[in-house]
Amino acid sequence: MAANTEVVEHGPELRHHFEQPDQQYQAATLGMWTFLLTEIMFFGGLFAAYAIYRAAYPDAFASTSQYMDVIVGGVNTAVLICSSLTMALAVRSGQLGQRNAVILFTIATMILGAVFLGVKAYEYHHKWVEHLVPGFNWHYEDSRYAHHAQILFFLYFVMTGMHAIHMIVGEGLLLSLVIMAWRKKFTSLWSTPIEIVGLYWHFVDIVWIFLFPLLYLIGKHKL
Amino acid sequence: MSTLVETPRTGAEINYLNADYGWKSWLFTTDHKRIAMLYLISITGFFFVGGFFAFLMRMELLTPRGDLVQADTYNKFFTMHGIMMIFFFLIPSIPATLGNFLVPIMIGARDLAFPKINLLSWYIYITGGLFALGAVVAGGVDTGWTFYTPFSTTYSNTYVMAAALGVFISGFSSILTGLNFVVTIHKMRAPGMTWHRMPLFIWSHYATSIIQILGTPVVAITILLVAAERIFHVGVFDPAVGGDPILFQHLFWFYSHPAVYIMILPGMGVISELVTCFSRKRIFGYTVVAYSSIAIAVIGFLVWGHHMFTTGQSMYAGLVFSALSFLVAVPSAIKVFNWTATMYRGSVSFDAPMLYVFGFIGLFTIGGLTGLFLAASAVDVHLQDTYFVVAHFHYVMVGGMVMAYLGGIHFWWPKMTGRMYPEAWAKFAALVVFVGFNLTFFPQFMAGYLGMPRRYHAYAEEFQVYNVLSSAGASILGAGYLIPMVYLVWSLWFGKRAPANPWGAVGLEWMIPSPPPTLNFDKTPVVTWEAYQYHEPDRPEVEVGR
Amino acid sequence: MKFQIIPDTASTFAEKVDPLWWFLVILTVVMTGFIAVLVFTFAMKYRRRGPNEKTLYIHGSTKLELFWSITPLIIFLGIFFWNASLYYDYFTPPPDCLDVYITGKQWMWKVQYPEGQREINELHVPVGRPVKLTMASEDVIHSFFVPAFRLKRDVVPGHHNTTWFQATKTGRFHWFCAEYCGTQHSGMIGWVTVMEPTDYENWLAGGGVTGSMASQGEKLFQQLGCSTCHLLDEQGRCPILRHVYSNPVKLDDGRTVTADDGYIRESILNPNAKIVAGFKRDIMPTFQGQVSEEGLMQLLAYIKSLSKGQQPATGNQTIGAQQTGQGTGTARMGGSVPRSATGGPPTGAIPVSERTQNPTERKK
C-alpha cells in the first residue's frame, strides 16, 4: 500500500498516468503479449483454411512441392533464426545499457531481415516467371490439379505475404530503435521498447517456422 | 467509504471538459474521458444512420407486395442497417463510450494504459466508418451484414469492397480497445483494488475484451480473404474451383457469434451497477455474477456452429453445437436470477435508469429463452433464417443491450457532463421505448413461426398483420429514441448542475467531482472496501436461502 | 388481410417438432412470468421509503446459486435429448423414398423427377410417402424451406445436400428460399402440391417427357467418355459402376465408405479424393466445371439405376415398369384421369396470389 506514496526516481520516459516505471514496463510487455495473441488468431484463420483444404486435396497440395525451392526456403529459415539471435542479443545489450552493442545488433537484425525479404522477393519473382501467381499469371502444368493447386498458391501468397508485411513493419520498428539508441534514449534501467520489439520480432520468426514446413515440405515425405 | 480521497466539489472548478478549448484539444486528446465523448458523438451518428435504414425497411414492409422501393434497394437497406448497427454501433457502444470513460476511474487509475492507442482506435473507427458510409453514398451494398460467399465474392455487383474494408478497418479499433482494457485492468488497478473488489462493470468489460482480442482478428482475416477472392477470383471460397463457401461461414461465425457477447456483456455490467445502486444493496452473489461473465466469454467461442444447423454440417457436429449452446445459456440465466435477488430486501427507487433495468431484465429474459428455441437444432430447422431469429436477436440486442446502454447513459450522464437530465422526460421516454420495442418485435416472433423468411422484400399475404403491427411499433420506438436525444442535448446547457454523487451510489467514480478533473484523482486512492457497500458497514452479514 | 397464427401442419416432422416447440413456448411464458412477478413484487414491497434508507448485508447464497444453476442445466439437458432424437430424424431418410432432384439458381427452383418430368417452382409429391430431395445450386447458397413441413435445408454450391420429408396432408403449401441469394430472393418462391397417391400417379403419367433422368444421364455418361472405362473396361483401370450406389466401398487407405450421393459427386469432380482399393490414382481427370449441376444429378440418377439391377431406361414407358417395384407403379396406368383433377390446386388449397402465380407452370 505504501508504494503509491513513495516517490520513485524515474526518467522522462515515465508517462503521467503510471505510478512507477515498473508498472509502465509491465503494462507495455503485457500489451505486446496481448497483441501477439491477436496476431496468433489472425494467422490462425489462415492456418485453419490451409488445414481444411490440405485435408480435402492432399494430392494437389503435395504436387505443388516441386515448385517450392527447399534450399532457398531453408536458407531463408536459417537467416531468420540468426536474426532472432541478434535480436535477443540486442535486448540483452539494452538491459545492460550497452548503447553501441544495441545499435550494432539491431542493425545486424535489420540486415538479416532485409536478406530474408530480398530472398522472398526473388522467390515471388520466380513464381511469376513460372506462371504460379493465382489471379494474375496462372498456368499449372499438371492439369489434374490446376484448380486445387491454385488454392494452395493463393494461400501461399496470402500467408507469406502477410508474414512479409509483418517483417516490413518490424524493420521499421528496428529502425526506430536504432534512432532512439543513437539519441541515447535507453538506459540500463529503461529499455522497454527494445524488449517489446524483440517480442514482436520473435513472434514473426515463429510464424515462419510454421509456414516453412507447411508450404515447402508438403510432398517431400513421398520422395 | 470513510477513506474518501477527496471531498466532492461542484463543477465550477477545472475539469476535463473545461481544461482546454478548441477543436485541437479534442481531436488530439489522449484523455480517456474526452475520447469516450468523441465515441459517444460518433456512435450516436451511426445509430441514427442505421435507424434510418430500419425505418425505410419497416415502411416497405407495410404491404406484402414490395411496392415502395425496388427489391435491390430494399436489400441495400437491410444490409446497411445491419452493418451500421452491428459493426459501428453495437460493438463499440458501451465499451467505447461508458467503458472508456469509466474503466480507469472505477479501478482508480488516471487513464487507460495506452492513451495514444486509445485515440488511435477512435481514428481507426472513424476511418472504417467513412468507408462504410462511402459504400452507402456510392450506391450501397446488398450482401447482408454476413457477407455470405459466394454471393459476396462473385455475384453481388454492389460496393462490397468498400463496406468490407470498412468492417475490416473498424475491427482493429475494437481489438485495440480490448487490448487497452485488458492491460489496464491487469496493471493499473489502485492499491487495494483486488480482483474481487472490482465493480462487475469491470469484470464484464474484461470478459468482453477477451472476445475482442481473440475473435476479431479471425473475422479480419476472413474479410481479407473475401476481398482477395472478390478481386482475383482465386477460388478460396468458390465451389467452381474446389473452394468451400461453408468454410467462410465457419470462420465468420467463429467471430460473429462471440461478437454478440461483445455486444451484450458490457450491457450486463451496466445492469449490475444500476440494479445495486437503485436497490441500494450489494449485488446478490458477486462472485457468481463475475465469473459467469468469463464463462460466457469462454463457452461463447464454442457455439458458432448453431448458425449452421441447416447448411449440411454433420449431424454430430450439429448435436455438439446444440448442447454447447444450451450450456452457454446457463450463465446468462444465473445473472438474471442474481439481479432479481439483489432487489430482495433492498430499497428500490424508480429513477429513469432503474426503469431501463426493469425493461432489460424482462426483455433479456424473453430474448434469452427464445434463444433456447434456436439452440434446439430440430426446432431451429424450422426457425433458421425466419423472422423468429430476427426477433430473438433484437430482443437481446435492442431489448437488452440498447436498454442497458440508455440506462447507463442516463445513470452516468451527470458524471460525464456535470448536468442532470430532466427526470420526468426520461421516465416518459423509457416507457415509450419499452412499449414501442415490444410492439415492433413481438409480432416478428409470430411471423417467424408462421414461416416468414428474413430479408424478404415482398412476402405472402398471411404475414401482413404482423408486419403492420411491427411497422407501427417501429415508429413509436423511433420517437422513443429521439426524445432522449433532444433532452440530453438540451440538458448540456440548461440542465441542473450535477453534484458529485446524485444517486447516493458507491464506487470510485462517484467520489470525484462531476465532471471529473483531467487526471481523475489528485492522489491515487487506496481501496479498503468491497464493491457495492450500500449496507451499513457495521451491520452483520445476513444469510438467505436457509 | 389474412390472419393466421399457427402454420399448417403437413408433415411427419411438423407433428413431431411442434410438441417441443409448444413445450419451449410454455417454458418461456412461465419463466418470463415468474421473473416479472418477482421483479414487480420486490420493487413494490421494498420500494424506497426514505432518502437515507440502508439495507442489509446479504452476501449471497451458495445453495440458491447452485439451485438456479443446476435446475436450468437439467431442464436444458432434457430439451437437448428430446431435440436430439428429432434432429436425428432429419438426417435419416427411410429406405423406400421417392427421389426428387432440385437445383436452385438465381432466382428459381428447377425440379427433376427420375421419370423425366421437369418443373419450375412447383413440386408435386404424394401424401404418405417419404420423399428424398437431392439438391444442388448453380450459383449462390439457397435454402429449401417449406414452413408447413417444418423443413429447411440449405442448397449449397459445390455440395449435394439431401433431405427428406413425408407429407401427411394434401394441399398446396408455400415453398420459400430462406437463404438470402440476391435481388429477387423474395421472389424465389414456389408451391409444394401434396396429392393423393393416385392423383400423383396420374400427374406423373400426364405430359410427354423426353426421357427419364437416368436415360439422360446415360447419354451424358457416354458423351463424357465415362462408359469406356466405367462400364466396358476390361483392363481394370477403374471400378465398374454397376451395383456401386448405396453399397460400401473399400478405399486404398483402408477406410470403407458408403457410395452415397456425396461420394459419387466427389468422385466425379475430385477423383483423387477417395481411391477405391486396388486402383491407381491420377487415372481419371477431374470434371469440375465441365458438368452442370443438373447434369451431375442426371449422372447420379443413372448410376443409381445401374445398381438397381436393370438396364437404364430409355423412355417414359419403361420407367413405369421400374416404378412398379417401388410400390406405386400400378396406379399410374390409369392415365385417363382428367388433368384438372391433379394439376390444379386441390380443393381447400391456398389461392395462388398474383405474385406467386407461376408463368412457367408445367406445360402439357
- CA-based R_g, chain B, Å: 23
- pLDDT at residue C346, as a whole number: 37
Q: What is the pLDDT of residues C31-64, one digit of tens each?
A: 999 999 999 999 999 999 888 888 888 888 899 9
DSSP letter, residue C325:
T
Residues of chain B numbered 296-325 and touching chain C (CB < 8 Å): 309-312, 315, 318-319, 322-323
Among A131-145, B385-399, C11-25, the minimum mean pLDDT is found in A131-145
pLDDT at B271 over 60: yes
Q: What is the pLDDT of residues B44-96, one digit of tens each?
A: 999 999 999 999 999 999 999 888 899 999 999 999 999 999 999 999 999 99
CB contact under 8 A, C72 and B333: yes
- Interface check B381 vs C, CB under 8 A: yes
- pLDDT at residue B359, as a whole number: 96
Nearest CA in chain C to B535: C55
Its sign, for the CA torsion A167, A171, A174, A180, is: negative
- pLDDT at residue C114, as a whole number: 87
Reported as a pLDDT band with limits 50, 70 and 90, residue C345 is: very low
- pLDDT at residue B45, as a whole number: 95
Question: How confident is the model over B295-314, as a mean pLDDT?
Answer: 93
Reported as a pLDDT band with limits 50, 70 and 90, residue B354 is: very high
**Max Cα distance, chain A (Å):** 74
- pLDDT at residue A62, as a whole number: 85
Reported as a pLDDT band with limits 50, 70 and 90, residue C269 is: confident
- Interface check A19 vs B, CB under 8 A: yes
- pLDDT at residue C290, as a whole number: 79
CB contact under 8 A, A144 and C286: yes
- pLDDT at residue B10, as a whole number: 47
Which of A4, A8, A16, A17 is best to mutate for the B interface (most B CBs within 10 A)?
A17
**Max Cα distance, chain B (Å):** 73
- pLDDT at residue C102, as a whole number: 94
Nearest CA in chain B to A46: B221
Among B143-157, B401-415, C343-357, the minimum mean pLDDT is found in C343-357
- Interface check B476 vs C, CB under 8 A: no
Q: What is the pLDDT of residues B426-458, one digit of tens each?
A: 999 999 999 999 999 999 999 999 999 999 999
- Considering only CB atoms, C288 lies closest to which of A56, A59, A147, namely A147
In which residue are the cell numbers 430472393 written? C185
Query: Long-range pairs for C283-292 at CB < 8 Å and ≥24 separation?
Result: C283/C237, C283/C238, C284/C229, C284/C238, C285/A143, C285/A144, C286/A144, C286/A147, C287/C224, C288/A147, C288/B240, C288/B241, C288/B242, C289/A147, C289/B240, C289/B241, C290/C224, C291/C220, C291/C224, C292/C138
Residue C61: its chain B contacts at CB < 8 A? 284-285, 543-545
Show the CA angle centred on residue C56, arms to residues C54 and C60, nearest 5°: 140
- pLDDT at residue A2, as a whole number: 37
- pLDDT at residue C348, as a whole number: 37
Amino acid at C72: P
Whether residue A137 contacts residue A48, with contact meaning beta carbons closer than 8 Å, is answered with no
Q: How many CB atoms lie within 10 A of CB A37?
A: 17
Q: Which of B43, B35, B221, B208 is nearest to B117 (CA)?
A: B35
Q: How far apart are the first and last CA of chain A?
A: 66
Give the Cα separation of B533 and C341 in Å (integer): 78
Question: How confident is the model over A75-86, as a mean pLDDT?
Answer: 95
Q: How many CB atoms lie within 10 A of CB B54?
A: 22
Please give the share of chain B, as a percent, with pLDDT higher than 70: 96
H or E element that contains A124: helix A99-129
Reported as a pLDDT band with limits 50, 70 and 90, residue A221 is: low
Q: How many CB atoms lie within 10 A of CB B25?
A: 12
Give the Cα separation of A64 and B481 in Å (integer): 58
Nearest CA in chain A to C285: A144
User: Cell digits for C185?
Assistant: 430472393
Q: Which of B127, B256, B120, B131 is nearest to B179 (CA)?
A: B120
- pLDDT at residue B538, as a whole number: 59
Strand partners, C172: C193
CB contact under 8 A, B234 and A57: no
CB contact under 8 A, A147 and C289: yes
User: Cell digits for C9?
Assistant: 401442419
Strand order in the sheet with C98-105: C118-120, C108-112, C98-105, C130-137, C161-166
Q: Which of B252, B29, B258, B42 is nearest to B147 (CA)?
A: B252
Residue A147: its chain C contacts at CB < 8 A? 286, 288-289
pLDDT at B409 over 50: yes
Chains that touch B (3 or more CB pairs under 8 A): A, C
Q: What is the pLDDT of residues C214-266, one digit of tens each?
A: 888 888 888 888 877 787 666 777 787 877 888 888 887 777 888 888 788 88
Give the Cα separation of B284 and B345 in Å (integer): 11
Whether residue C309 contacts residue C208, with contact meaning beta carbons closer than 8 Å, is answered with no
Question: How confident is the model over B98-104, as a mean pLDDT?
Answer: 96
Complex-level ipTM: 0.92
- pLDDT at residue B541, as a whole number: 57
Among A57-61, B146-150, C336-340, the minimum mean pLDDT is found in C336-340
CB contact under 8 A, A59 and C272: yes
Minimal C-alpha gap between C9 and chain A (Å):
40
Please give the share of chain A, as a percent, with pLDDT higher than 70: 93
Q: What is the pLDDT of residues B202-241, one digit of tens each?
A: 999 999 999 999 999 999 999 999 999 998 888 888 887 7
Please give the share of chain B, as a percent, with pLDDT higher than 90: 83
The mean pLDDT value of chain B amounts to: 92
CA B414 to chain centre: 21
Nearest CA in chain C to A54: C273
Question: How confident is the model over A66-80, as a mean pLDDT?
Answer: 91
Among A86-90, C97-101, C273-277, the minimum mean pLDDT is found in C273-277
Give the Cα separation of A3 and A144 in Å (integer): 70
Residue A44: its chain B contacts at CB < 8 A? 217-218
- pLDDT at residue C327, as a whole number: 34
- Considering only CB atoms, B179 lies closest to which of A34, A56, A136, namely A34
CB contact under 8 A, A56 and C282: no
Q: Which of C139, C132, C120 is nearest to C361 (CA)?
A: C120
- pLDDT at residue B12, as a whole number: 54
Q: What is the pLDDT of residues A2-56, one digit of tens each?
A: 344 444 455 667 777 888 888 899 999 999 999 999 999 999 999 999 999 988 8
Question: How confident is the model over A74-99, as a mean pLDDT?
Answer: 94
- pLDDT at residue B539, as a whole number: 57
User: DSSP characters for C2-36?
Assistant: ---SS----BHHHHHHHHHHHHHHHHHHHHHHHHH
User: Cell digits for A138?
Assistant: 496462372
Residue A148: its chain C contacts at CB < 8 A? 270
Give the Cα separation of B26 and B8 in Å (integer): 26
Query: Long-range pairs for A3-6 at CB < 8 Å and ≥24 separation?
Result: A3/B191, A4/B190, A4/B191, A4/B524, A4/B526
User: Cell digits for C193?
Assistant: 402440391
Minimal C-alpha gap between B235 and chain A (Å):
6
- Interface check A55 vs B, CB under 8 A: no
Q: What is the pLDDT of residues C322-343, one digit of tens each?
A: 333 333 333 333 333 333 333 3
Q: Which of C236, C223, C295 is nearest to C264 (CA)?
A: C295
- pLDDT at residue C289, as a whole number: 74
- pLDDT at residue C323, as a whole number: 35
User: DSSP characters for C343-354?
Assistant: SSPPTTPPPPPT
User: Cell digits for A128?
Assistant: 511469376
Reported as a pLDDT band with limits 50, 70 and 90, residue A201 is: very high
The mean pLDDT value of chain C amounts to: 80
DSSP letter, residue C184:
T
Whether residue B105 contacts residue B136, with contact meaning beta carbons closer than 8 Å, is answered with no
Three-state DSSP class for B5?
Answer: coil
pLDDT at C85 over 90: yes
CB contact under 8 A, C54 and B280: yes
Question: How confident is the model over B176-197, as a mean pLDDT?
Answer: 95
CB contact under 8 A, A17 and B233: no
- Interface check A129 vs B, CB under 8 A: no
